[in-house]
Structure 1
Amino acid sequence: MKNSITKELRRVTRKILTLSFWISVWELCSLFINNPLLLPSPIEVAKVLFFLTGKIYFWKSVCNSVTTVVLGLFLSIGIGIVIGVAAGLISFIEELLEPLIVVTKATPVMSIIILALVWFRSSGVVIFTAILICFPIIYTNVLQGIKAVDKQLIQMASIYKVKKIYIIKDIYLPSIKHYIVSGILMCLGIGWKVSVASEILSTPRYSIGLNLLKAKSTLETAELFAWTIVVVLLSFAFELIFKYYIKKRENN
Structure 2
Amino acid sequence: MKASTTKTSFKKIFILLFWLVIWEIFALIVNKEIYLPSPISTFKTLILLLIDKSTYIIILFSTYRTILGLLLSYIFGIILGFACGLNEFLYDLINPIVIVIRSTPIISIIILAIIWLKSSNVPVFATFLMCFPVIFTNVSTGIKNTDKKVLEMCKVYNISKFNIIKSVYFHSVLPYIYSAIISSIGIAWKASSAAEVLSVPKYSIGKYLFYAKTSLEPTSLFSWTIIIVTLSYIFEVIFKRVFKCERKSTYNKRYGVNYDKTK
Give yes or no for TM over 0.5.
yes
Report the equivalent of 2:201.
204
Once the two structures are TM-superposed, the CA of residue 8 in structure 1 deviates from its matched residue by 1.2
Report the equivalent of 1:225.
222
Amino acid across the alignment from 2:196: E
CA–CA distance in 2 between the matches of 1:51 and 1:147? 51
1:176 counterpart SS class: helix
Deviations 1:114-141 (A, max 9, x none): 1111111112111111111101101100
Deviations 1:68-96 (A, max 9, x none): 11111111111111100000111111010
TM value normalised by structure 1: 0.96
1:100-249 alignment to 2 at 5 Å?
Answer: 100-249=97-246
Report the equivalent of 1:86.
83
Number of aligned residue pairs: give it. Answer: 249
CA–CA distance in 1 between the matches of 2:76 and 2:213? 35
Once the two structures are TM-superposed, the CA of residue 156 in structure 1 deviates from its matched residue by 1.9
Amino acid across the alignment from 2:90: I
CA–CA distance in 2 between the matches of 1:168 and 1:215? 50
CA–CA distance in 1 between the matches of 2:20 and 2:93? 49
Once the two structures are TM-superposed, the CA of residue 158 in structure 1 deviates from its matched residue by 2.1
Once the two structures are TM-superposed, the CA of residue 160 in structure 1 deviates from its matched residue by 2.4
Once the two structures are TM-superposed, the CA of residue 166 in structure 1 deviates from its matched residue by 1.4
1:20 counterpart SS class: helix
Aligned residue among 19, 22, 25 for 2:16: 19
Where relative contact order (Cα < 8 A, 6+ residues apart) is larger, the structure is: 1
Report the equivalent of 1:37.
34
Moved over 6 A (4+): none
Once the two structures are TM-superposed, the CA of residue 167 in structure 1 deviates from its matched residue by 1.0
Report the equivalent of 2:59.
62
Unaligned runs of 5+ in 2: 250-263
TM value normalised by structure 2: 0.93
Report the equivalent of 2:257.
none
RMSD of aligned residue pairs (Cα, Å)? 0.9
